Structure 1
């Protein structure tokens, strides 16, 4: 999941909410499916290869919709940088985070992206950090502390690498989002996503194949189904629906709608992976969502 700067315009169309729901539910289901896939293949090579195939499929969709795939020479430098942040870091760090974290914990940490966007917009875009935005950051950090503090010190230390990887991925996406606002990439949305996913996943695949030992031939039918989901639903269906929602809804409305993602992630992890939903998980989810909602409103 990435935060993109395409702004929705015009009046609200009811169909936009359907597209938004499909994208949010699809991205939420992604967390338990990724966690499940890790039992069969390592994170970097599997997620990187899924991204490359997904990028090719997105390019075909963009071409079919008449979107130009050519990139002007002056844009290549910033396109590569933003792709490494928005996609490369997200794909790699979130995959590594799931080695240490439950899928539900990763889903909660992932949705903190708008909070980091609000914070980074201060030094990079000159946007003032209001009292409400500062409060949003504190509230979101409180939710993270609730996640970190569950189970005692030993359990917290075991989860710490996963939390740091997840936050690195979220902050990378936020940094890429702010840079895109500062230096816009004038490409059409699906074509731009195809390039970002493809460019961002290339180094992930290279590193993954170099340091991991994936055995794709040994994947179970469930493993292949998970790979297909990550490739075509996560990268294709969800992004196409996201842009369709942005064409029909205000950007702020669509952004708030993505708060459904961690809710789906937590509930799906409980259903698919039998991850427990206790008071700590519900409190962390509620507190983090509250902080993100404050950040999105201001």
Structure 2
């Protein structure tokens, strides 16, 4: 996504990938005999779920990369399991333990280390990116904890959530960002194809499948490898820094998240 931002504006790119994925999944659902009809009782929950799980998660995390390195954005966005643990207290009555709170402190310390050193002076410049990334994490955690899986067939649910969550991004991109359609390179087209198939389709489908089978906090554990992959991939593909400070920040953040997820 960070690479694609050099060729196409962020919300247009995400919205385009999501809408294409939604149409493809809807066609697959129809071929498999899954009805695309949404009962009236499910419409409000569907809209709320689409806003939290798709529009906020994909849109805000994408916008954050205008100000942040891809690795920094990944570390902030994937503090989501910590927020899910904390939100489960007021919403589900599951009080976090001292171990969970200690993990949160360790996680915040890791994020602070990531922004420390010479980059600390740029903190104000990066504040919008930080807010977008944390907003994506907190809202997605809220959806994980508070919004029960929809009573719809899996592919139908995913198709509608992608369509409702990504269509506003696509429209905003067309009307405001005004993309240059000829600016995308063959490599950019490859990124778009990957983003359509993997993050928008496969990853969302498996995530919702996990939520149908596991408690929200347990399902969140699966996301812990993502910031490691994000920082490593950004270093290899984009030449972003990966030194001792970044490695220590990764270690502290992931250790904090893992500690926060432990029981007892």
Q: What's the TM-score once normalised by structure 2's chain length?
A: 0.90
Give the whole-Å Cα distance in 2 for the aligned partners of 1:239 and 1:83.
Answer: 12
CA RMSD, Structure 1 to Structure 2 (Å):
2.4
- Aligned counterpart, 1:63: 30
- Aligned counterpart, 2:125: 158
Give the whole-Å Cα distance in 1 for the aligned partners of 2:120 and 2:82.
Answer: 27
Structure 2 residue 95 is the aligned partner of structure 1 residue 95: no
Give the whole-Å Cα distance in 1 for the aligned partners of 2:140 and 2:174.
Answer: 24
- Aligned counterpart, 1:15: none
> Which ranges in structure 1 are unaligned for 5 or more consecutive residues?
1-33
Corresponding residue pairs, total: 263
1:247–1:212: structure 2 CA closer, same or farther, 3 Å change rule?
Answer: closer
Give the deviation of 1:155 after TM superposition.
2.1
- Aligned counterpart, 1:267: 232
Of the structure 1 ranges 74-83 and 62-71, higher mean CA displacement relative to structure 2 is found in 62-71
Give the deviation of 1:245 after TM superposition.
7.4
Give the whole-Å Cα distance in 2 for the aligned partners of 1:99 and 1:49.
Answer: 18
Give the deviation of 1:52 after TM superposition.
0.8
Give the whole-Å Cα distance in 2 for the aligned partners of 1:274 and 1:90.
Answer: 25
Give the whole-Å Cα distance in 1 for the aligned partners of 2:41 and 2:139.
Answer: 23
1:136–1:63: structure 2 CA closer, same or farther, 3 Å change rule?
Answer: farther
> Which ranges in structure 2 are unaligned for 5 or more consecutive residues?
none
Q: 1:1-298 maps to which residues of 2 (within 5 A)?
A: 34-181=1-148, 184-240=149-205, 255-298=220-263
Q: What's the TM-score once normalised by structure 1's chain length?
A: 0.80
Give the deviation of 1:159 after TM superposition.
2.0
Q: Which 4+ runs in 1 deviate beyond 4 A?
A: 240-255
1:67–1:130: structure 2 CA closer, same or farther, 3 Å change rule?
Answer: farther
- Aligned counterpart, 1:20: none
1:13-58 deviation per Cα after TM superposition (whole angstroms, max 9, x unaligned) = xxxxxxxxxxxxxxxxxxxxx0000001110111111111111122
Give the deviation of 1:246 after TM superposition.
8.0
Give the deviation of 1:66 after TM superposition.
3.9
Give the whole-Å Cα distance in 1 for the aligned partners of 2:260 and 2:31.
Answer: 36
